[in-house]
Amino acid sequence: MKKLAYRALSCLTIFSLIGLTVGCQTPGATNNGTQNTAASSSPSQKNAFTVDITNFAYNPGTLHIAKGTTVTWRNDDSVAHTVTSGSNQQPDGMFDSKNLATGQTFSYTFQKPGTYHYFCAYHPNMTGTVVVSNTSAASSNDNMSGMNMSGNDGMAGMNMMSSQRSTSSGKDNIAPLGTGWSGEPKQADDLRLLPYKMENGYKVFHLTAQPVWWQVKPGQKVEAWAYNGSVPGPEIKVDQGDKVKIVVENKLPEGTTIHWHGLDVPFAQDGTGGISQPDIKPGQTWTYTFTVTAPPGTYIYHSHPMNDMQKQEDMGLFGPFIVEPKGTDWQQVHPGYQDEYTLVVNDSSQFGYTINGLSFPATPVLPAKVGDKVLVHLINIGSMNHPMHLHGMHFQLINQDGYPLPAPVTMDTVDTAPGTTYDLSFVADQPGKWLFHCHIAAHVTDSKGNMTGMVTMFDVKN
């Protein structure tokens, strides 16, 4: 896994850079707050402005006002938000509306010039800025075009993933085979590791959902909807306790979201379209932010839009999310793993019976040396149970759904259920080409009786 994963790293880095299309709030946003006639007659509140909270955004996102102006936020969304001063989800204590239910308002009077950032404590994509000029509110007029914009510091470094900002027109053309957009033909022989950048203590990942051509096996090329051009999407690997941001760009012809299956994130980060967030529209970008609290093990990310969830999963919008022991990796865990593989089994209508998006004989051969301890992260993202059987060796089932079992269970077949993950551990104790396959015959045999579908093998050598 490691070797294969890193081999594709440079390629993926390029993908990520290309995919990093960032929505920006307009620094020069005009002063379009509405006059609040109900405000007090105090001169200092001559100019009062309202920021509407609608569709998971502050409107306007950037407000330019004179000192002494009172800003009132009104929540017109159907879910609660907050107006909390600070940035990067860190309150600075200046103001905090706390829970602002539908229809409620919150007001704050800005007395000092400066640039003030705020955010919603429930929805990290929601950020806003108030730029306060040195002009007195009592003498200022509404024309801010001549004001000094030098107080605009920090804008570039902010989280600018404005959820409702369109960054590109939706494209429904299909990119070349398994590549997303680079044009480089590629048949994935294993999952690839998604690179990240460290920013302010966060591991920042980028995923782009896009139609691509995908070759399930030679002669079977189908349209896929893939993350970063790969089915499954690239493996996200983090340490327990990591703070992560995952920037998702939607280049699909319809809305989508990503759900972090099994990771127990805050509600606003759950990625359920129409429930915890609006669908990310075509051309838009959305950022998920959470701390990985789950124990080391195997989890999933997959699309979870308001509509068409089955279609989107059938088309390939899923990937593995692996949590490693903090400060180490699996291969350093006592008594040590020499080989680590992630296998995603699926039975989608689009690809048929597959392991890692591929059908035997296109599935990867998994090398090991005699005596190696092998760790397998096994995910069933399909709609059926698949009893996965290992030849030649017994394995221990150590985790289910990422969490350790009270005691490892020794078996040679694990009946995997849809949406369930398993971590298997075994010692490759004799050489051979040992099949690992679904034991439902129809899932490993084509109409002519040839072996195909959910079959792979461990190639154990001396």
Per CB under 5 A, the list member of 438, 455, 457, 460 interacting with Cu ion is 438
Nearer CB in complex with Cu ion: 239/412: 412
Q: How many residues bind Cu ion (CB under 5 A)?
A: 4
Question: Residue 268 in contact with residue 288, Cβ under 8 Å?
Answer: no
Residues 90-129, interacting with Cu ion (CB under 5 A): none
Q: What SS3 state is found at 155?
A: coil
Residue 443 in the binding site for Cu ion (CB under 5 A):
yes
Give min distance, CB of 414 to Cu ion, in A.
Answer: 12
Give min distance, CB of 413 to Cu ion, in A.
Answer: 11
Give min distance, CB of 421 to Cu ion, in A.
Answer: 16
Token representation of residue 127: 């950020």
Stretch that binds Cu ion, among 10-18, 134-142, 394-402, 437-445 (CB under 5 A): 437-445
Nearer CB in complex with Cu ion: 123/443: 443
Burial 227-248 (b: 16+ CB within 10 A, else e): bbbbbbbbbbbbebebbbbbbb
Nearer CB in complex with Cu ion: 65/438: 438
Beta-strand ranges (E) seen in 252-331 are 258-261, 285-291, 297-303, 318-324
Give min distance, CB of 384 to Cu ion, in A.
Answer: 6
Residues 377-396, interacting with Cu ion (CB under 5 A): 386
Interstrand relation of 48-54 and 57-59 (parallel, antiparallel or unpaired) = antiparallel
Q: What SS3 state is found at 309?
A: helix
Give min distance, CB of 182 to Cu ion, in A.
Answer: 33
Residue 440 in the binding site for Cu ion (CB under 5 A):
yes
Stretch that binds Cu ion, among 11-19, 280-288, 320-328, 433-441 (CB under 5 A): 433-441
Q: What SS3 state is found at 245?
A: strand
Give min distance, CB of 358 to Cu ion, in A.
Answer: 15
Residue 437 in the binding site for Cu ion (CB under 5 A):
no
Give every strand in the sheet of 318-324, ordered side by side.
236-239, 318-324, 297-303, 258-261
Nearer CB in complex with Cu ion: 81/443: 443
Q: What stretches of 78-177 show up as alpha helix (H) in DSSP?
A: none
Residue 435 in the binding site for Cu ion (CB under 5 A):
no
Residue 355 in the binding site for Cu ion (CB under 5 A):
no
Nearer CB in complex with Cu ion: 46/386: 386
Token representation of residue 280: 């990310």
Nearer CB in complex with Cu ion: 178/453: 453
400 DSSP β-pair partners: 403, 422
d(CA 267, CA 277): 9
Give min distance, CB of 437 to Cu ion, in A.
Answer: 8
Question: Residue 20 in contact with residue 52, Cβ under 8 Å?
Answer: no
Give min distance, CB of 346 to Cu ion, in A.
Answer: 10
Nearer CB in complex with Cu ion: 121/438: 438
Burial (0-12, 13-18, 19+ Cβ within 10 Å), 43: exposed
Nearer CB in complex with Cu ion: 355/438: 438
Question: Residue 168 in contact with residue 210, Cβ under 8 Å?
Answer: no
Provide the binding-site residues for Cu ion, judged by CB under 5 A.
386, 438, 440, 443
